[in-house]
Amino acid sequence: MCGIVGAIAQRDVSAILLEGLKRLEYRGYDSAGMAVVEAANKIQRQREVGKVAALEEAITKYPLPGRTGIAHTRWATHGKPSVTNAHPHMSGENLAIVHNGIIENYEALRQDLRDKGYEFTSETDTEVVAHLIDSMYQETGDMLQAFRKTIAQLHGAYALAVVHSSEPNRILAAREGSPLVVGVGIGENFLASDALALLQVTDRFIYLEEGDITEVTLEQITIWDGSGAKVERPVVRFEHGGLDSVEKGEYRHYMMKEIYEQPKVIKATLEGRISGDHILEQVLGADAANVFDGVGSVQIVACGTSYHSGLVARYWIEELVGIPCQVEVASEYRYRKHVVQPDMLFVTISQSGETADTLAALRQAKKAGFKSALAICNVPGSSLVRESDLTVMTQAGPEIGVASTKAFTTQLVALLILTIALGRRHGLTKEKEAELVEGLKALPGLIQKVLDLDDVINKTSEAFAEKHHSLFLGRGSMYPVAMEGALKLKEISYIHAEAYPAGELKHGPLALVDKDMPVITVAPNNELLEKLKSNLQEVRARGGELYVFADAEVALEEEPGVHVIPIPAVHDILAPIVYTVPLQLLSYHVAVLKGTDVDQPRNLAKSVTVE
C-alpha cells in the first residue's frame, strides 16, 4: 500500500528519502517518486513506474539536491499505475504533495478547481488536494493557513505531506484515517507513514493522532489537533529489535527469514507472560482482570491471515472456555447489523494495526455498544492499539514479507494466552492450565524441529511447480490451518489453492480430484485422525496425489501416490501452530521454484489501509 517519507535536514535528503522508500517496499506499490526543494527555491521531481530501484537510477542520472523533500510509493486506487499518476503531485512549479488514502469528495472539488482555471494532469484524487492548497495559498499567502483550510474541506481518509518552494524551511503534514509518524532527529526531522521507514535515521517517533496537523522544521515539531488547539504528543522510542530485524541478512527473502525467526519470536511473545505453570494475566493490562470477569462471549474480527488465527481461536475458546465465540472478516462485519450482547468481548486481530476494515469494524463496534475492545497486534503505537481498551502485543518484530508468517503464529500464541485467561473464569482447571503452559514453553523447540525438515519439504515442493490447482484439507482446528496453507500458496506462487473441511470433500471438491490436483492435508494425532484417514482414501480412490503432514507417531504409510512428511508429536491444542510452519515452507519453496516475487507478490499489499 502507499508509503510516505519526508525529511528536512542540513544535508541533502534524497538518499534518506530513497532509503525510506526501500524500507516501505514490502507494503506493495506500483510506482515511486520524490520531490525536493532546491536551494534556489525551486522544486525538482522524479517519478517512475515500477520499483524504487528505477527511481534510484533516475536520481543517480539526474540528482535531486536539496535539504527538504518528500517521497512516495503509490499503490493505484484512482487511476492506473503510470508516471503521471505517481506522486508527488504538483500544483504549478512551487507546491508538491504526497498522499496516502482516499479523498471521497474529490470529484466535486475537482470541478470547483477546474472552474477556477486549474488544469489536471493526472486521474488521481491527490492532485485535487495540491491545487486546492494552491488556491488557498493564493488567498492567504501562508502555507499553514492554506493547508488548514484545505484539510477542512476534505472528506475521506488521508495522510498528507506538502512542501512549497517559497517556504523551504518547513514540511506540513496531516493525518486522518491513515497512519503518519514524525521521526525526531537532532537538527533534522522526518516524516513517514511507518516508523520502519526512518529507522536508519532515528529511533524516536511521535505518532500523530487522527485529525492532527503538524509543521516540521529543522529544529521544531509543532502539532495542532483536529480542533486547531496546539498539542504536545509524546516522543516514543521504537520498541522493535533494532535495525537488523528489518534486514534480510543471510536469507534470500524476508519471508524465509521470518519463517525461521518463529522459535525466537514465539519465545519473545511468551516472555513476561508466564510464571512457572501459569500465565500472568496482569500483563494483559491493568484492567484486564475486571474486563475478563464480565465476559460471557467473544466476537473476533480481522482480515486475511489474521482472520485465520481468529478461526483457530474459536475452537480453543469454545473448547477450553466453553463460551460462544464468533469470528468474521472485518469487511463483512462492518457492513451488517449485528446483535451486541452486554457480556461480549470484542477482539480485533491485526499484524499492522492499520488495516482499514478492521479499524472501521472496531470503531463501529464501539458505537454499537460493546463495552470492551481488545486488540491483538504486532505494531506498538498503531491505530488499533491506540483505540482499543486492552491490547495483547505480539512480539513478532517487523514483518516485511507480504505473506504473513511469524505474525500468524505469534497471534495464535497471544490468542491461547487470552483463552487461558478467560478459561480460568469458566472452569479451566489449574492442571489443564499447567499442561497448556508446558505446551507453550515447548513450542519454540518443536518449531525448530519442523524447520529442520526444510530440505525434505523443499524436495516435496518440486511436485507442485507445474500444477495449476491444489486442495488443502483439515478437520477441526486444523481446518483454518488448511485455509492459511491455501492462502500462503495462492498469494506467493499464484497456484489456485482451495481449503475445505475434509468432511465436505464428498459435497463437491471430490469432483475435481485427479492426478493433476495435489491434495495437501495436516494430520496431527487427534480424535479426528481416523475420520481424516477415510477422507484420504476417498482422494486416493480417485487417483489424487496426497501430501500428508502427519504426526510421526500415527504410522501413516508411504505408498505410491501418498507422500507422508512426519511432524514431531505435539499437544492437540497447540497443533495448529506447529502444523502451520511446514505449509509456510512448502509455499515458499514452490514460489521460489516458480520464480515469483516472493516478498512482494503481484497485486498484493502488506498493509491494506484503504477499503
Catalytic residue numbers, as ranges: 2, 606
3-state secondary structure 26-59: HHCCCEEEEEEEECCCEEEEEEEECCHHHHHHHH
Site for ligand G6P in 355-384 (CB under 6 A): 355, 358
The one among 133, 505, 606, 609 contacting ligand G6P by CB under 6 A: 606
For the bound state, the minimum distance from the C-beta of residue 354 to ligand G6P, rounded and expressed in Å, comes to 7
Q: Rank residues 24 and 213 by Cβ distance to ligand G6P and give the closer one.
A: 24
Q: Does 351 bind ligand G6P (CB under 6 A)?
A: yes
For the bound state, the minimum distance from the C-beta of residue 584 to ligand G6P, rounded and expressed in Å, comes to 12
The one among 402, 422, 495, 550 contacting ligand G6P by CB under 6 A: 402
Q: Rank residues 327 and 402 by Cβ distance to ligand G6P and give the closer one.
A: 402
Closest C-alpha among 398, 406, 403 to residue 258: 406
CA dist., res. 326 & res. 289, Å (int):
22
Q: Rank residues 214 and 306 by Cβ distance to ligand G6P and give the closer one.
A: 306
For the bound state, the minimum distance from the C-beta of residue 386 to ligand G6P, rounded and expressed in Å, comes to 15
For the bound state, the minimum distance from the C-beta of residue 378 to ligand G6P, rounded and expressed in Å, comes to 8
For the bound state, the minimum distance from the C-beta of residue 608 to ligand G6P, rounded and expressed in Å, comes to 5
Q: Does 404 bind ligand G6P (CB under 6 A)?
A: yes
- Paired with 549 in beta bridges are 522, 565
| Chain length of the chain | 611
How do 562-567 and 546-551 pair as beta strands? parallel
CB 163 within 8 Å of CB 144: no
The one among 32, 133, 160, 608 contacting ligand G6P by CB under 6 A: 608
The interface mask with ligand G6P, positions 486-525, x = CB under 6 A, is ----------------------------------------
What's the DSSP call for residue 304? H
CB atoms within 10 A of CB 241: 15
The one among 304, 380, 398, 485 contacting ligand G6P by CB under 6 A: 304
Q: Rank residues 268 and 384 by Cβ distance to ligand G6P and give the closer one.
A: 384
* Phi, psi angle pair for 48, to nearest 5°: -140, 145
Q: Rank residues 76 and 218 by Cβ distance to ligand G6P and give the closer one.
A: 76
Q: Using the rule CB under 6 A, give the single segment among 121-129, 300-308, 493-501, 542-550 that binds ligand G6P.
A: 300-308
Q: Rank residues 401 and 524 by Cβ distance to ligand G6P and give the closer one.
A: 401
CA-to-CA separations, 178 to 186, 333, 356, in angstroms, rounded: 26, 21, 8
Alpha-carbon torsion, ordered 152, 153, 159, 163, to 10 deg? -80
Q: Does 303 bind ligand G6P (CB under 6 A)?
A: yes
Is the C-alpha dihedral spanning 222, 227, 232, 233 positive or negative?
negative
The amino acid at residue 497 is A
The interface mask with ligand G6P, positions 192-231, x = CB under 6 A, is ----------------------------------------
The residue count for binding ligand G6P (CB under 6 A) is 16
What SS3 class is residue 498? strand
User: What is the grid cell recorded at 35?
Assistant: 520531490
DSSP secondary structure of 570-587: --GGGHHHHHHHHHHHHH
CA dist., res. 502 & res. 352, Å (int):
32
Closest C-alpha among 165, 14, 146, 142 to residue 93: 165
Place of cell 495437501: 520
Q: Using the rule CB under 6 A, give the single segment among 115-123, 221-229, 248-256, 399-407 that binds ligand G6P.
A: 399-407
Task: Please calculate the CA angle 326-327-333 and round it to the nearest 5 degrees.
Answer: 105
For the bound state, the minimum distance from the C-beta of residue 541 to ligand G6P, rounded and expressed in Å, comes to 36
User: What is the grid cell recorded at 69?
Assistant: 523533500
The one among 58, 283, 442, 604 contacting ligand G6P by CB under 6 A: 604
Q: Rank residues 403 and 457 by Cβ distance to ligand G6P and give the closer one.
A: 403
For the bound state, the minimum distance from the C-beta of residue 607 to ligand G6P, rounded and expressed in Å, comes to 6
For the bound state, the minimum distance from the C-beta of residue 52 to ligand G6P, rounded and expressed in Å, comes to 19
CA dist., res. 158 & res. 483, Å (int):
33
Q: Rank residues 31 and 350 by Cβ distance to ligand G6P and give the closer one.
A: 350
The interface mask with ligand G6P, positions 121-160, x = CB under 6 A, is ----------------------------------------
**Residues in contact with 536: Cβ distance below 8 Å, sequence separation at least 6, in sequence order:** 519, 521, 546, 548, 562
Would you tell me which residues interact with ligand G6P (CB under 6 A)? 303-306, 350-352, 355, 358, 402-404, 604, 606-608
